[in-house]
Amino acid sequence: MSTQNEITYAQAVRDAMREEMQRDDSIVLMGEDIGVYRGAFGVTQEMYREFPGRVLDTPISEAGFVGCAIGAAISGMRPVVEIMFSDFMSVCWDMILNQAPKMRFMSGGKLSVPLVIRTAAGCGTGAAAQHSQSLEAMLCHIPGLKVVVPSTPYDAKGLLKSAIRDNNPVVFLEQKLLYRTKGMVPSHDYMVPLGKAEVRRVGTDVTIVTYGRMTGISLQAASKLAEEGISAEVIDLRTLLPLDRNAVTESVKKTKRLLIVHEAVKTGGFGGEIAASVAESEAFYYLDAPIRRLGAEDVPVPFSPVLEKGVLPDAEKICAVIREEVG
């Protein structure tokens, strides 16, 4: 009999790493302040004690240690690196763009890079424009990478286990505002497959496609709309690359309306890809209203809490768009 425990999203991430490291000696963690500091967001905690020599504090050299992890992965290890804030991917962009995802292809399949890059993404902490971005769209433009954005503790654990066992470089975008949220997680070993979306709420009038922290916000909006007699289906993509296009088109064929919600800025955001894939599928002929997107305003993430909150999608904005769509 499997039991369930209520744990936080951060603990789910930690438990996934702990269980995988107990199982496989080739897994090491590298990152800034993941040892005695216990991780900038407290994810790694006491792991440095439990796994001596396998939880490595690095110099502040993102390119250096991500490159090192890629080299180790090519050489048969399965490193999990932590980039403290996803914004810092900029200082090791060559590794994420030109190195990790290209090695397998350029070598005709002879090299592989089983690497996980965990990083804290998203705004809401008052850390302003260089510590708050949602950059997934840039990552999804790179064939050879996989891009995962978990929205619940259950998924965080199951998806991270899949990412660690995957033989490709996976960027795992943890949602920093979700680290302390709780959810039920089974104690037995389980995996959540990469590339599979999840229907979080079944509905008939409109499909909301979302991921990460906006999943919870979209569910709040769906509850509110239900009171008004509007039935919204909420799809959590969970993995953006590869994208579960089928889950989206099947839902749209049923509900005939589509709203895409993400925290990233709207222009050039991943919502455009979802909209386009529906527009070029047979689901297009089922649409009763234009496809809509809600993203953050096209500005750098502002500091003042009033502004930071103001530029983001929220349940009220979601409801307003859907009322227009359905009305």
Supply the residues annotated as catalytic. Answer: 131
Comparison of 28 and 117: residue with beta carbon closer to another protein: 28
Using rule CB under 8 A, residue 110 touches another protein: yes
Q: Least CB distance from residue 239 to another protein, whole Å?
A: 13
Are the beta carbons of 297 and 290 closer than 8 angstroms? Answer: no
Q: Considering only residues 36, 106, 202, 307, which one is a binding residue for another protein as defined by CB under 8 A?
A: 106
Using rule CB under 8 A, residue 28 touches another protein: yes
Comparison of 17 and 103: residue with beta carbon closer to another protein: 103
Using rule CB under 8 A, residue 143 touches another protein: yes
Site for another protein in 166-185 (CB under 8 A): 166-168
Using rule CB under 8 A, residue 58 touches another protein: yes
Total of residues contacting another protein (CB under 8 A): 42
Comparison of 21 and 206: residue with beta carbon closer to another protein: 21
Q: Considering only residues 7, 43, 95, 120, which one is a binding residue for another protein as defined by CB under 8 A?
A: 95
Comparison of 7 and 95: residue with beta carbon closer to another protein: 95
Q: Least CB distance from residue 300 to another protein, whole Å?
A: 24
Instruction: Compute and round to an integer the Cα radius of gyration of the chain.
Output: 20
Using rule CB under 8 A, residue 305 touches another protein: no
Comparison of 146 and 238: residue with beta carbon closer to another protein: 146
Site for another protein in 61-80 (CB under 8 A): 61, 63-77, 79
Q: Least CB distance from residue 86 to another protein, whole Å?
A: 19
Q: How far is CA 52 from CA 61, 119, 180, 232, 298, in A?
A: 22, 22, 26, 49, 45
Residues that bind another protein (CB under 8 A): 28, 56, 58-59, 61, 63-77, 79, 94-95, 98-99, 103-112, 114, 143-144, 146, 166-168
